[in-house]
Structure 1
Amino acid sequence: MSIWFTKMYDYFMKPLEKNRLGNIRKHLVSQQKGIILEIGSGTGANFCYYKQAEKVVAIEPDAAMMGQSFTRVEVATVPIELVNGSGEWLPFEDNSFDAAVGTLVLCTIPNPNRALKEIRRVCKPGVPILFIEHVRIDRPLLGNLQDLVTPLWKRLCDGCHLNRNTLELIQQNGFEVIKVEKYYKDILLSIEATNEK
């Protein structure tokens, strides 16, 4: 990732985190138990919300982002293990995890289908698979605007696709979607699914 994007990420996200996003994160992850896989942990924004997990294994491909998460690891109430790696090639054995969490990550992974297949592989059957993702809005004007802006946005925000239909990708890759909540005029989704094998 670019240095400026990494350094400014938390600054730009802070208003969203305070207003609503922090509460959405907390609701999604605070009840998860066992050994949790977090994909694309970034600067560790979720770490403070894990309360019942035995351990969180957080994978992040960007060393600078991971470096910014160290202070959050130190104050977390559950053990956090940081792993430098890609969601597309998870260095874990099959059926290793009791849940998986991804927040604002599938938009930037170059091959999200590959990453979703890897999540399925390393998670036990039937366990929670949880996402917070922004998606392409299913309304002509706003959806077309997202399509128009995405090429420039990807360059500015290190590969982020504003117009990815992430919910559809999750469904196509063998997860059973249990619950979807929409926020911010339907651009942000909280997705609760299970790993069906």
Structure 2
Amino acid sequence: MIRNNNEGFIQKRYNRIAGFYDVLEAPMEHMFSKWRRKLLAEASGKTLEVGIGTGKNIPFYPENIELTGIDFSPKMIEITSDKLKKHPRPKTEIIQMDAEEMTFDDNTFDTVVTSCVFCSVPNAVKGLKEIKRVCKNGGKVLMLEHVRSENKLTGKFMDIINPIPLYIYGANINRRTYDNLLKAGFEADQIKVENIWYDIVKIIRIES
């Protein structure tokens, strides 16, 4: 569901680049795939991936989980669905859905996963509130995200050049995701942050 011009703009960008998205992501994939593999191995039970994109995370999940993937780009969903037809995985469902307005019931998932997603969700706090809502009490949220550096010069530089990636494919490189998690209602003592590339790329684990 597209509710405003900003969301429509970003959806169009992701639809446009869907066919060569994996190529664009290749440099980052080379650097961080081992971290994604390690993080996703922690998923358990009924698992939701928000922003599943082209489905590149799917091979990294444990075989015994029940996986639901959502994305608001129909082109991304089409690519992921085609991959699953060629390499079927049991207990996997792919749905076109807006991260800011999920249709799942409260307390549905044991694990919620995001991987470089909250740079592009238009209203990040609203999307994080939805994650908090659909994650079960006692569940966990696993995030691999790039964020704005807290280094004064680096952070300012990221602010200055942010319009470039935002225009090209709808991603903000200067999101303050930890602060947004607090705004979404998560408590500081629930959140554990691990820097894996300077203070820009982080693994964030949350116990809900």
Does the aligned pair in 2 maintain the 1:47–1:72 contact within 8 Å?
A: no
- Partner letter of residue 129 of structure 1? V
Length-normalised TM-score, structure 1 = 0.90
Task: Please say if residues 116 and 145 of structure 2, whose CA atoms lie closer than 8 Å, have aligned partners that are also in contact.
Answer: yes
Structure 1 residues 76 and 133, CA gap change in structure 2 (3 angstroms): farther
Q: 1:52 to 1:127 in 2, by over 3 A?
A: farther
Instruction: Extract unaligned runs of 5+ from structure 1.
Output: none
How far, CA to CA, are the matches of 1:78 and 1:102 in structure 2? 21
Q: Report whether the alignment pairs 1:192 with 2:199.
A: no
- Percent identity at matched positions? 31
- Hey, what's the Cα distance between the residues in 1 that align with 2:88 and 2:115? 18
Task: Evaluate the alpha carbon distance shift between residue 144 and residue 94 of structure 1 in structure 2; reply closer, same or farther with a 3 A threshold.
Answer: same
Gaps of at least 5 residues in structure 2 are 1-11
Q: Secondary structure of 1:64's partner?
A: helix
Retained in 1: the 8 A contact 2:116–2:146?
yes
Change (3 A) 1:76 1:188: farther
RMSD: 1.7
What is the match of residue 105 of structure 1?
117
Partner of residue 52, structure 2: 41
Q: Could you tell me how far apart the structure 2 residues matched to 1:57 and 1:106 are?
A: 18
Residues 100 and 126 of structure 2 are in contact (CA less than 8 Å); yes or no, is this contact kept in structure 1? yes
Write out per-residue CA displacement over residues 147-173 of structure 1, whole angstroms, 9 at most, x where no aligned residue: 001122211122x11101012211332
TM-score normalized with structure 2 length: 0.86
State the match for 1:161 in structure 2: 172
Match of 2:36 in 1: 25
2-structure distance, mates of 1:105, 1:178: 18
Mapped to 1, the partners of 2:147 and 2:88 lie a distance apart of 29
Asked if 1:180 corresponds to 2:193, the answer is yes
Alignment of 1:1-197 (within 5 A): 1-2=12-13, 3-18=15-30, 20-74=31-85, 75=87, 77-158=89-170, 160-176=171-187, 177-195=190-208
Determine the C-alpha separation between the residues in 1 that align with 2:127 and 2:64. 23
Partner SS for 1:125: strand
Counterpart amino acid of residue 155 in structure 2: G
CA-to-aligned-CA distance 1:58-104 (integer Å, 9 cap, x gap): 11000111112124434364432011010001011111111100111
1:30/1:52 contact within 8 Å kept = no
Normalized per residue, the structure richer in helix is 2
**Amino acid corresponding to residue 193 of structure 1 in structure 2:** I
